[in-house]
């Protein structure tokens, strides 16, 4: 009975990971159909499932190499492929090859971001991400899609829409530190205030999602970039890890 319960415990976090991937697939289908609002909301829902699977794995003590790789493949579908396709059909479908290259470049940078994270997963002990996390990149992409639903004239500014996608793709593979807040001392010492802020954000997201999603991701990215530029010395060598040799010659 104990073994059977253990198997179910391993199954649970992977179920949330699969739901994340399913949301990415649903977003792609809605993107093909031109229903961009639903496509964006499925990507947001995928981000919710993505935030749950890791926590469930830690709570049940069922972290595994399989789960890490499955999570990365799911993230590539939900936060790499699906937002690029939705963005392409919203802004770049009539842009010819530059539009196709820009959409693929976002997917490529997302894949590189995930591969780098997995390669350094045991080395990065700081409370900063190396480059913009791929869910953040996906959120930035759908943010502009949501804005364009209220301001459709944005669709006609092809240089801007191409540059916007490339900008966030480059941020994902950059060495710019973005705060993760997981190990933040301020968060640990101000839990009540943090919970209140989270509650307020969730409430406003539920009511004004088309406005709040762009505001939140833009604030996070801009604030992170400003903090990095004004505290460059603090971050010198933060992601310089020493490779351990496989064997020592005697």
Delimit the domains of the chain by residue range.
10-58+67-234
Q: Is 159 exposed, middle or buried (0-12, 13-18, 19+ CB in 10 A)?
A: exposed
Q: In the predicted model, is pLDDT for residue 119 greater than 90?
A: no
Task: Give yes or no for a contact between 73 and 22, defined as CB atoms under 8 angstroms apart.
Answer: no
DSSP H stretches of helix in 120-190: 134-150, 158-173, 185-189
Name the β-bridge partners of 128.
179
> pLDDT at position 44, please?
95
- For residue 29, which phi and psi values (nearest 5 degrees)? -60, -45
Residue 188's pLDDT band (cuts 50, 70, 90): low
For the domain made up of 10-58+67-234, give the CATH fold: 1.20.120
Q: In the predicted model, is pLDDT for residue 113 greater than 50?
A: yes
> pLDDT at position 249, please?
42
Residue 128's pLDDT band (cuts 50, 70, 90): confident
Tokens representing residue 29 in the block: 């289908």
Mean per-residue pLDDT over the chain, rounded: 86
Cβ atoms within 10 Å of 112's Cβ, excluding its own: 16
Q: How far is CA 159 from CA 54, 90, 126, 154, in A?
A: 38, 14, 37, 11
Average pLDDT over residues 29-40: 96
Q: What does the alpha-carbon distance between residue 172 and residue 98 come to, in Å, rounded to a whole number?
A: 20
Q: In the predicted model, is pLDDT for residue 27 greater than 90?
A: yes
């Amino acid at each position: 009975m104990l073994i059977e319960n253990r198997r179910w415990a391993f199954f649970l976090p992977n179920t949330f990971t699969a739901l994340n991937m399913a949301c990415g697939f649903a977003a792609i289908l809605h993107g093909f159909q031109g229903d961009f609002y639903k496509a964006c909301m499925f990507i947001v829902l995928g981000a919710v499932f993505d935030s749950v699977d890791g926590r469930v794995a830690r709570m049940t003590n069922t972290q595994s190499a399989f789960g890490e790789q499955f999570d990365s493949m799911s993230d590539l579908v939900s936060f790499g492929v699906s937002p690029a396709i939705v963005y392409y059909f919203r802004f770049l479908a009539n842009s010819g090859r530059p539009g196709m290259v820009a959409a693929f470049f976002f997917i490529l940078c997302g894949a590189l971001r995930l591969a780098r994270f997995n390669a350094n997963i045991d080395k990065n002990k700081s409370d900063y991400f190396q480059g913009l996390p791929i869910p953040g990149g996906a959120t930035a992409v759908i943010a502009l899609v949501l804005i364009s639903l209220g301001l459709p004239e944005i669709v006609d500014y092809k240089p801007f829409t191409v540059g916007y996608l490339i900008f966030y793709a480059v941020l994902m593979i950059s060495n710019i530190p973005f705060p993760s807040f997981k190990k933040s001392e301020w968060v640990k010492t101000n839990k009540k205030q943090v919970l209140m802020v989270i509650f307020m954000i969730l409430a406003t997201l539920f009511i004004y999602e088309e406005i709040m999603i762009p505001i939140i991701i833009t604030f996070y990215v801009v604030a992170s970039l400003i903090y990095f530029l004004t505290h460059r010395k603090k971050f010198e060598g933060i992601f310089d890890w020493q490779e351990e040799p496989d064997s020592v010659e005697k």
